Amino acid sequence: MKFLWYCLLCLVLLGQSSCRVSRQRPSLTLLDTLWQSAAFQHHHAGLMILDADTRKVVYQHNAERYFVPASNTKLFTFYAGMKMLGDSVEALRYVVQQDSLIFWGTGDPSLLNPNLPSTKVVDFLQSRPEKLYFWPGNPLLKPYGPGWAWDDYNDYYQAERTSLPVYGNVVRFTRKSAQSVQANPSQFRYTLDTLRRDFQVRRAETENLFYGTKAPIPLRYEQDVPFRTSTEVTLQLLSDTLQKPITSLPAFTSKVYQPLRSVASDTLFKRMLQPSDNFLAEQILLLVCARLEQPFDPGTAIDYMLNNHLRDLPDAPHWVDGSGLSRYNLFTPRSIVALLEKLLAEMPRERLFPLLAVGGQSGTLRNSYRSADRKPYLFGKTGSLSACYNLSGYLLTKTGKTLLVSFMNNNFNRPTSEVRKEVERVLTAIHEQY
């Protein structure tokens, strides 16, 4: 008889436990059947969801496995900038020696950048009575990161890295008439010499020679094409803008200097995160190097962050660049969620959320995750490469919960749009049901 009562008690407790789990996690039915979808059948997928308030794992699938993060890497670059750069960006450093002003770059990408309007450096250098000398700094800085595609040299998203960028290290071509375009900076020209169906400007691989196709120029045509950087090109462009000569100084060192600041750091972060600007991400790591008083080497900034501020990540990342252009980068969903938790703990959400892409409103999420009441519920960072689509960020549910989410997809052989739509379907359902 005692044994019978014991069995009945166990059945009652099991039933209560089952009901309790069902009430607390109503979205698990959706997630458990997620991997049966055709969109996820044949590729590497991982998902981690953490409740921000309770710090309990809501769901995980392959959360400990490594994925190519693409532009989700920028979340780590953002954290590095937030920890190291302060409220505003150090534009350049300088010393005055008698009748000479010697200046050098810190990696600040805002100088004459059409996407980050700031005139502080130009105004400063124009107003100085001294002769201007420029020290280019570390000559070993490579223009491209490890694993970048060599044949993307013509694409706006792969501008070269330099200590003192000008014009974002790109030439912006815009329509002047149906048969001609204008370039900014205007020192660059293009020649019509190829026949294509659509108008496009292409640069010679190793020279600053630009060629336009013989096709009608669209009314709203605009194209950014990276130019080949060098100290000579930088000085020519800057001298022409200042209308003052600048001399290159091959060798120089000084531990004492004056800093000049430019844009607010949050302005830089927002422009980097929302449209996913690769160039700004790369330059942020150079700014961190300058802050550490180290030569320009993105690996130095990465190692510093991993050894000092990210030592407690659950899985050590393989992190090689600032933008995520390299497929050498490898992160796990649970390490990305751990970073999201750090950001939320160290920044007020009133500051953090508007810097990210906002569902239905801004950045790479402006055309998705729209709610009927127009209240945004997803704030995050997308990451796309060929056969790679990831989304990590903060998901607000209708019951008032804040979920930290990292949904990673690699190695699929179908259009990215299909995977992106399926990710949206799943996260929207969690927003509505959890």
3-state secondary structure 300-322: HHHHHHHHHCCCCCCCCCECCCC
pLDDT of residue 85: 97
More confident residue, 228 or 26: 228
Conformational region of residue 153, where left means phi above 0, alpha means psi within -120 to 50, and beta covers everything else: alpha
User: Dihedrals φ, ψ of 147, to 5°?
Assistant: 85, 5
How far apart CA 160 and CA 167 sit, in angstroms, is 12
Q: What is the pTM of this model?
A: 0.91
- Mean pLDDT across 81-98: 97
Question: Is the confidence at residue 17, as pLDDT, over 60?
Answer: no
How far apart CA 210 and CA 205 sit, in angstroms, is 10
pLDDT of residue 214: 84
With bands split at pLDDT 50, 70 and 90, how would you rate the model's confidence at 311? very high
Instruction: Give yes or no for a contact between 149 and 159, defined as CB atoms under 8 angstroms apart.
Output: no
- Mean pLDDT across 11-28: 38
pLDDT of residue 41: 82
Percent of the chain residues topping a pLDDT of 90: 80
pLDDT of residue 137: 84
Q: Which two tokens stand for residue 214?
A: 């013989």
More confident residue, 163 or 20: 163
pLDDT of residue 372: 84
| DSSP-derived secondary structure letter, 254 | -
Question: Is the confidence at residue 1, as pLDDT, over 50?
Answer: no
With bands split at pLDDT 50, 70 and 90, how would you rate the model's confidence at 288? very high
Question: Is the confidence at residue 126, as pLDDT, over 70?
Answer: yes
Q: Which one, of 115, 118, 64, lies nearest residue 90 by Cα?
A: 118
Q: Which two tokens stand for residue 234?
A: 């930088």
How far apart CA 228 and CA 210 sit, in angstroms, is 11
Q: Residue holding tokens 């071509």?
A: 173
- Mean pLDDT across 331-347: 98
Furthest-apart CA atoms within the chain: distance in Å: 103
User: Dihedrals φ, ψ of 394, to 5°?
Assistant: -115, 120
Question: Is the confidence at residue 18, as pLDDT, over 80?
Answer: no
Tell me if the bond preceding 185 is cis, omega within 30° of 0: yes
Question: Is the confidence at residue 2, as pLDDT, over 90?
Answer: no
Cα end-to-end distance, the chain, whole Å: 43
Q: Which one, of 402, 371, 390, lies nearest residue 71 by Cα?
A: 390
pLDDT of residue 28: 57
Q: Which two tokens stand for residue 77?
A: 């670059």
The strand ranges marked E within 130-185 are 131-134, 170-177, 180-184
Q: Which two tokens stand for residue 174?
A: 């815009």
Question: Is the confidence at residue 332, as pLDDT, over 90?
Answer: yes
